Structure 1
Amino acid sequence: MIEQDVIDMLEVAAAIIENEQGQILIARRRKGKSQEGLWEFPGGKLERGESPEECLRRELREEMQIEIDPYAYFATNDHDYGSVCVRLIAYKAAYLSGEIALIDHDAYRWIRLEELGEYLFAPADVKFVDMLRQLVQ
């Protein structure tokens, strides 16, 4: 009999949110959170039975007080942090409304794709940063 290690994969959705000026929203994880001080594309953990799009609408409403429209699947990245394996599912999204109020983050920026290389991102988000940077080369 072969033993198999069952790895629980934490499913997380991330939004690559674009505003009317074509800038992308990034946020820095606040002190005390895992990956503190690193930048990420905002989002959160999927709840049971929830689609990534539903998760992103809920999480951005809860964590940033904004409304978004996740309109297109972008990519998925599985990342092993050692203590937890994360499946990060990214969607492109349009910013609709709301004034950003931070809860899990201590800073945010609207940046151009060309500026992505100026920020240190959480490891699970790096694949998406690389993919987005290729769009401007």
Structure 2
Amino acid sequence: MIKVAAAIIENDEGFILIARRRKGKSQEGLWEFPGGKLEEGEDPAACLKRELMEEMRIEIAPYEQLSTNDHRYGDLHIHLIAYRARFTGGTIELIDHDDYRWVRIKELKEFQFAPADIKFVELLSQSC
């Protein structure tokens, strides 16, 4: 099982950051909440700060765990941990993605998300 963290990043206007996985990556063309694999012994919040700086060149402040989701992609079993976070700085540069959007929670269902992220879309949609 691989442990992965995902960030539900909100800006000052209340929009959520989503990103589309670029061609050639697993789940290419699908939208996700950005994040990445936890390194050995790494805390999910620390992982998210590191991954968002590496993958998008932005700074975030994770503040609350939203939920978890165990999902299988064939033989690959991931344990996805979603954290709410605030956008705190930087200008987005896409490294692992080919597009990004700042969207309202009510707009999330208009996008085709990676299967492991759908649980979080549903949880967020229930809150608005």
Partner Cα distance (1:41, 1:117) in 2? 13
Query: Which of the pair has more CA radius of gyration?
Result: 1
Partner of 1:73: 65
Aligned partner (choices 56, 61, 64) of residue 48 of structure 2: 56
Partner of 1:41: 33
Partner Cα distance (1:117, 1:48) in 2? 34
Partner Cα distance (2:112, 2:78) in 1? 19
Identity of aligned residues (%): 66
Q: Deviations over 1:6-63 (max 9, x none)?
A: xxx1100000000000000000000000000000000000000100000000000000
Partner Cα distance (1:73, 1:131) in 2? 12
Unaligned runs of 5+ in 1: 1-8
Partner of 2:111: 119
The letter of the residue matching 1:80 is: R
How many pairs are equivalent? 128
**How high is the TM-score relative to the length of structure 2?**
0.99
CA shift at 1:102, angstroms?
0.3
Partner of 2:126: 134
Dislocated runs of 4+, deviation >2 Å: none
Partner of 2:82: 90
The letter of the residue matching 1:90 is: A
Partner of 1:30: 22
Partner Cα distance (2:104, 2:71) in 1? 25
Partner Cα distance (1:96, 1:131) in 2? 24
CA shift at 1:93, angstroms?
0.1
Unaligned runs of 5+ in 2: none
Partner Cα distance (2:73, 2:46) in 1? 25
Q: Deviations over 1:94-128 (max 9, x none)?
A: 00000000000000000000101110000000000
CA shift at 1:131, angstroms?
0.4
